[in-house]
Amino acid sequence: MSAAAVRSGAARTPRFLAFFTGAYILWSLVPVAIAVLFSFNSGRSRSTWQGFSLRWYYSDPFGSVWNDESLRNALRNSLVLAVLSILIATPVGVGLALGLTRWRSRPAKVANGVLLLPLVTPELVVGTALFLVITNGYSFMDLGRTAQLVGHVTFSLTYVVIVVRSRLLSIGPDLEEAARDLGATSLQAVRLIVLPLLTPAIFAAGVLVFATSIDDFVVSSLLSSGSGTETVPVKIYGSVRGGATPALNALATIMLAASMLALVGVFVIMRLMRRRQGDDNAGENSLKELAAW
Amino acid sequence: MIHPMSRRRFLSLSGAGLSAVALSACGDKKESSGADALQIASPSKPVKLSISADNQAIKGGLAVESGPLRIANYADFVAPELLAKFEELTGATVEVSTFTDDNEALTKIASGSFAVDLLMSTAIDTLPKYVATNLIQPLQKDYLTNFANLWDSVKDPFYDQGAQYTVPYTVFSTGIGFRSDLVAAPLEGDNGWDALWDSQYDGATGLLDSYREAIGLGMLRLGNTNLNTESKDEIDAAIDELKKMLDTTNPRIDVLGYQAIPEGTTKVNQCWSGDMLLALGYLPDDVDASALGYWQPPIEKRVINNDAMSILAKAEHPVLAHTFINFMLEPENAAINQAYIGYQSTLAGMEAETLIAAGSIPENLANALVTQDDFAKGLRILALPLAADEIWQNAWSGLNTGG
Amino acid sequence: MSRRAQRSPLNPLWIGLAAPGMAWMALFFVVPFYAVAAVAFGQVDPILRTAIPEWNPQYWDFTSFSEVLDRVVGGDLRTVFLRTGAYVILAVLGCVAIGYPVAYFVSRHSGRWRATLLALMILPFWVSYLMRMLAWFNLLQPEGWVARALSVLPGDDRPWLNGQPSTVVFGLIYGYVPFFILPLYATLDRIDGRLLEAARDLGATSNQAFWRVTLPLSRQGLIAASVITALPMVGDYYTNDLLSASPRTEMVGNQIVGYLQQSSQPQIGASLVLILAVLLLIVMAGYLVSVNRAQKLVTR
């Protein structure tokens, strides 16, 4: 009776929910698809379709992403910042995750708490604070790319720690202890056992840092030193309400493509690694890891 | 003051200019002790700005540096064609750092994070601050062979007698732009601004996001032409007037009228004269240029202003900077610039008849060009003593709370 | 157990691994807040009107801060704070209304579509916030597709991008719902299916199973997701800026940015940041306390 009841009970609700979910997905993704579509508009409008063209990508002599230096710079700045952020935030974050999970003490608990704060603090608050401290206190630093990098890393650290730590917890301390029982030092255990097991999570963390940095707006603009350090989101924000052409859509589309490429690439790698580690649900688990939980 | 030119002032909200807060520890800004160090000028009290002994003009006849020329300006506020032309002429590259607001430019230059040679589009009421802190250097007229092309009235302006530090960049009036095909009746007469308070345009009006201009509009409508008042009562009265506008038509408050009007997003929009000329480039395909209209108050109630170019005291390429200023003073280049940014310069050749004949502007926008006559008679927005400035700002931010 | 105690957690390796990160957070997250206070309670350069921070608490000047506090508690800034609170609450409710059914469906009923739906649900999280706002901005312009479609409805020709609170709240919902859905999904996913089976075995209809088992079990996760969404939303200023240019929808973030940038009173901006940070801390602390209490209940 229970199987039949479950089946009949389960069959009723999902139809509305399925429709609702489908509608949600359309609602959340179709506008973006339309924005991408208009990047191929042949005219200047971002809301009236005037034909297909690649002019905003490279052929328009002054306005295309290829030819407009400010757009190109924004693209370059975004990518450089993202790569640098990965290079800094990932190792520091992995270290944090490892260290804080194993080192049980007051400072560690406080650090854990502080690490959660960026998740719930508005970027405006943190960005403002960073701006003030850099311009008034830390005289070894200037506004500009370094400052923006610092801001990006500070926000990304939390994500790295969350992803790596959850993987660490699910791996558990047993393998490490077994290694130590067999004579390895703690360092060797970490290097030879834990890190390899963590690799999918580290990849996920890296690509999360990439996405956080690429999409970051508030901190990037608060800590920029002028048009030379504008990133793509800053450029979009500044131009949306005024004087923008579909080149803006093109810029956003290029960034989107970069993110998606990174995402898909890393997902494939992660799924491969997980399968090798014996994970039966590699695909879904990789997806979950990429969403930081 | 929010400079009239800050059309990208929107960017300021992106925080690129939290500069108002920054004052990093470097040297020569904090010498002056107070507002009395600021030499505030007005048409009736012209000021000859002081030149300190350690901030003299460079000598004439020096060789032009190889560059690059670093300019600070509003985004998109000089024709790229001109920059390319200049690069070809001198062989030096041009780099533009952008700001979105006068205060931002000032702070960034003061703190050293803008290491530029040439500063463009500075409002004349910010000028005293630059001079008081020795941030800009006096000009060496030997390099400015085209100086004679300027209108006579700006060769010796009241805010900088003898044009020691500055050369004007653009000139503009403040009025109301509209689309004649979308409004019930074209704005005309002495009280065209009433349209902004007309409930039939609810949701289709715009106000300039500039506290001096917007509050000034309230004052002018009440008949008060003292736009540099320090009286809190007068300011509050103007604010009340604006609150009525907020209630009846809920205007957008930004500096993007040059796009909103041609696209029809707003039907009646407070804007600068240059905005309407710039708007010509934003007309949708199915709208003709004759649909654009610009109304300005009668001359005794009309705000007319100009901004300035100056060279920074710490410029590494001063001769190149002078060369660029001279380059911009050529009527041919000024015309190219006007065609791109919409705003006119104070040079010969900017008369309505010339531009209409050349087909650059339609007849219906002839009044969007400032004549030398008007320039002499218009109302000016001047610098304020700091305490008064704060009253204005607080009033404006109070209005913006929407409460 | 005793073996684990032998591996004393004071192993310097762990400290060494965590140290760089901790130093970083201290230097670039904790200390900056002190700078905000130093500016809020400091002076202003008389000519350049830029902030002169006061690092020494002995010389802190609270006049400007108390003026701001007065305005927040009883003056014109109160409207802005209340309005921001209202928008955030409405937006979070919207997120719950939209996000919960979707998360529930994908976690419990999606069957073989699960991985695909999961990917699609995660996707917006990866698309730049600004790009999504850009998309809606274009759609809501007078000649945009959505604006035109909506104008067909009787009596609805509002200019969507001109100071409409509904547009701003809508924008907030659209922007933040992916951040809400993901943690909620995680919670719902973790609910043991067997509990629901047990409920059905005991005769519950699927409706009852939901209201009496799933919903209560997801309560903590729901609250957590709401907090993670609501708190950052309070500092949002760009959504309002992009989708409305009117004082009618002014939020706290706009005032802060306005004061810090275009005014000659940056210390007011810094004061506002402080007040905002304290308010959020209070909410955060309240949330943590309630979580703690709930956990104690569970482990008793």
Parallel, antiparallel, or unpaired for β B167-179 and B292-295? antiparallel
pLDDT in tens, C21-35: 999 999 999 889 888
Residue A75: partners with Cβ closer than 8 Å, 6 or more residues away: A65, A232, A251, A254, A255
Residue A17 domain-assigned?
yes
CB contact under 8 A, C32 and A132: yes
Is the pLDDT reported for residue A174 higher than 80?
A: yes
pLDDT of residue B172: 94
Question: Quick one: pLDDT band at residue C102, thresholds 50, 70, 90?
Answer: very high
How many domains are contained in chain A? Answer: 2
Could you tell me where the beta strands, DSSP code E, fall in chain C? 43-44, 51-52
In the predicted model, residues of chain B with pLDDT beneath 70 are 1-37, 403
Rounded to a whole number of angstroms, the distance between the first and last alpha carbons of chain A is: 37
A268 and A128 within one domain:
yes
pLDDT of residue A78: 93
pLDDT of residue A244: 74
Alpha carbon B110 to its chain's center: 20
Closest chain C residue to A191, measured at CA? C13
Q: Which helix (H) or strand (E) holds C187?
A: helix C165-190
A188 and A77 within one domain:
yes
- Helix (H/G/I), strand (E/B), else coil: A27: helix
pLDDT of residue A227: 66
- Rounded average pLDDT over A43-63: 82
The CATH fold assigned to B9-23+35-171+305-377 is D-Maltodextrin-Binding Protein; domain 2 (3.40.190)
A124 versus C245: the higher-pLDDT residue is A124
Residues of B in contact with C266 (CB under 8 A): 20-21
- Tell me how far CA of residue B2 lies from CA of B9, B211, C4, C17, in angstroms: 8, 7, 65, 49
Residue B84: partners with Cβ closer than 8 Å, 6 or more residues away: none
Is the pLDDT reported for residue C2 higher than 60?
A: no
High-pLDDT (> 70) share of chain A, %: 93
Is the pLDDT reported for residue A10 higher than 70?
A: no
Residues 42-71 of B with CB under 8 A from C: none
Is the pLDDT reported for residue A49 higher than 60?
A: yes
By residue range, what is the domain housing residue A201? 66-290
| Rounded Cα–Cα distance for residues A155 and A292 (Å) | 14
| B171 phi and psi angles, rounded to 5 deg | -135, 145
CB contact under 8 A, A135 and B80: no
| Rounded Cα–Cα distance for residues B20 and B31 (Å) | 18
Question: In this structure, what DSSP letter does residue B379 have?
Answer: B
- Best probe of the B interface among A241, A245, A248, by most B CBs < 10 A, is A241
A143 and A221 within one domain:
yes
Specify the amino acid at residue B143: Y
| Best mean pLDDT range from A67-71, A286-290, B113-117, C59-63 | C59-63
A209 and A163 within one domain:
yes
Rounded to a whole number of angstroms, the distance between the first and last alpha carbons of chain C is: 22
Residues of B in contact with C161 (CB under 8 A): 265
Residue A269 domain-assigned?
yes
CB contact under 8 A, B253 and C247: yes
pLDDT of residue C299: 64
- Tell me how far CA of residue A265 lies from CA of A200, A220, C297, in angstroms: 12, 26, 44
pLDDT of residue A92: 95
Q: Please list the alpha-helical segments (H only) found in chain A.
A: 2-38, 69-102, 106-120, 123-136, 145-171, 174-181, 186-189, 195-215, 218-222, 232-240, 246-276, 282-290
pLDDT of residue B267: 92
Least Cα separation, residue C36 to chain A (angstroms): 6
- Helix (H/G/I), strand (E/B), else coil: A234: helix
Parallel, antiparallel, or unpaired for β B205-208 and B304-312? unpaired
A83 and A25 within one domain:
no
Instruction: For residue C233, give both structure tokens.
Output: 């939303």
By C-alpha distance, which of A235, A275, A239 is closest to A78? A235
Q: Which helix (H) or strand (E) holds B136?
A: strand B136-137
Residue A163 belongs to a domain with what CATH number?
Answer: 1.10.3720.10
- Tell me how far CA of residue C245 lies from CA of B250, B260, B398, C78, C242, in angstroms: 10, 12, 16, 20, 7
CATH of range B172-303+383-400; options 3.90.870.10, 3.10.180.10, 3.40.50.720, 3.40.190.10? 3.40.190.10
By C-alpha distance, which of B212, B122, B119 is closest to B174? B212
CB contact under 8 A, A154 and C29: yes
Residue B31: partners with Cβ closer than 8 Å, 6 or more residues away: B133, B134
Residue C168: partners with Cβ closer than 8 Å, 6 or more residues away: C87, C239, C240, C243, C244, C249, C251
Let me know: does B136 contact B20? Beta carbons within 8 Å.
no
pLDDT in tens, C166-217: 899 999 999 999 989 988 988 888 888 888 888 888 888 878 888 888 888 8
Instruction: For residue A93, give both structure tokens.
Output: 């974050």
Rg (CA), chain B: 21
pLDDT of residue C294: 77
Residue A9 domain-assigned?
yes
Question: In this structure, what DSSP letter does residue B311 have?
Answer: E
pLDDT of residue B356: 84
Is the pLDDT reported for residue A181 higher than 50?
A: yes
Residues of C in contact with A186 (CB under 8 A): 7, 11, 13
Give the start-to-end residue ranges of the domains of chain B.
Answer: 9-23+35-171+305-377, 172-303+383-400
Residues of B in contact with A72 (CB under 8 A): none
- Best probe of the A interface among B6, B9, B24, B287, by most A CBs < 10 A, is B24
Instruction: Report CA torsion sign: A55, A59, A63, A64.
Output: positive
| Rounded Cα–Cα distance for residues B399 and B214 (Å) | 11
Instruction: For residue A43, give both structure tokens.
Output: 């005219």
pLDDT in tens, A218-244: 999 888 876 678 899 988 887 776 667
Neighbours of A279 (CB within 10 A): 16
- Rounded average pLDDT over C125-139: 84
| Rounded Cα–Cα distance for residues A56 and A35 (Å) | 13
Let me know: does A98 contact C5? Beta carbons within 8 Å.
no
| Rounded Cα–Cα distance for residues A117 and B188 (Å) | 57
β-strand partners of B74? B99
Parallel, antiparallel, or unpaired for β B94-99 and B69-74? parallel
Residues 83-142 of A with CB under 8 A from C: 92-93, 95-96, 98-100, 102-105, 107-108, 111, 114-115, 117-126, 128-130, 132-133, 136-137
| Rounded Cα–Cα distance for residues B310 and B73 (Å) | 11
| Rounded Cα–Cα distance for residues B71 and B57 (Å) | 19
Instruction: For residue B336, give both structure tokens.
Output: 């190219």
Share the mean pLDDT of chain C. Answer: 85
Q: Say whether residue B12 is in contact with chain C using an 8 A CB cutoff.
A: yes
CB-based burial label for B353 (10 Å; 0-12, 13-18, 19+)? exposed
- Helix (H/G/I), strand (E/B), else coil: A5: helix
Let me know: does B173 contact B378? Beta carbons within 8 Å.
yes
DSSP secondary structure letters along C92-107: HHHHHHHHHHHHHHHH
* Cis peptide bond prior to B68, omega within 30° of 0: yes
Residue A245: partners with Cβ closer than 8 Å, 6 or more residues away: A44, A46, A56, A63
pLDDT of residue B12: 32
- Helix (H/G/I), strand (E/B), else coil: B148: helix
Is the pLDDT reported for residue C240 higher than 60?
A: yes
- List, in order of start, the domains of chain C with CATH numbers: 76-262 (1.10.3720.10)
CB contact under 8 A, A226 and B80: no
Q: Please list the alpha-helical segments (H only) found in A103-144.
A: 106-120, 123-136
Rounded to a whole number of angstroms, the distance between the first and last alpha carbons of chain B is: 23
Let me know: does B311 contact B322? Beta carbons within 8 Å.
yes
Size of interface A-C (CB pairs under 8 A): 288
Name subunits touching A (3+ CB pairs < 8 A).
B, C
| Rounded Cα–Cα distance for residues C112 and A268 (Å) | 20
- Rounded average pLDDT over C253-257: 89
| Rounded Cα–Cα distance for residues A155 and A265 (Å) | 23
Residue indicated by tokens 């003009």: B57
Instruction: For residue B257, give both structure tokens.
Output: 């009228």
Is the pLDDT reported for residue A182 higher than 60?
A: yes
Let me know: does C251 contact C236? Beta carbons within 8 Å.
yes
Residue C78: partners with Cβ closer than 8 Å, 6 or more residues away: B403, C71, C72
pLDDT of residue B309: 95
| Rounded Cα–Cα distance for residues C206 and B250 (Å) | 49
Alpha carbon B78 to its chain's center: 13
Residue A87 domain-assigned?
yes
| C59 phi and psi angles, rounded to 5 deg | -100, 15
Q: What is the pTM of this model?
A: 0.81
pLDDT of residue B196: 93
CB-based burial label for A72 (10 Å; 0-12, 13-18, 19+)? middle
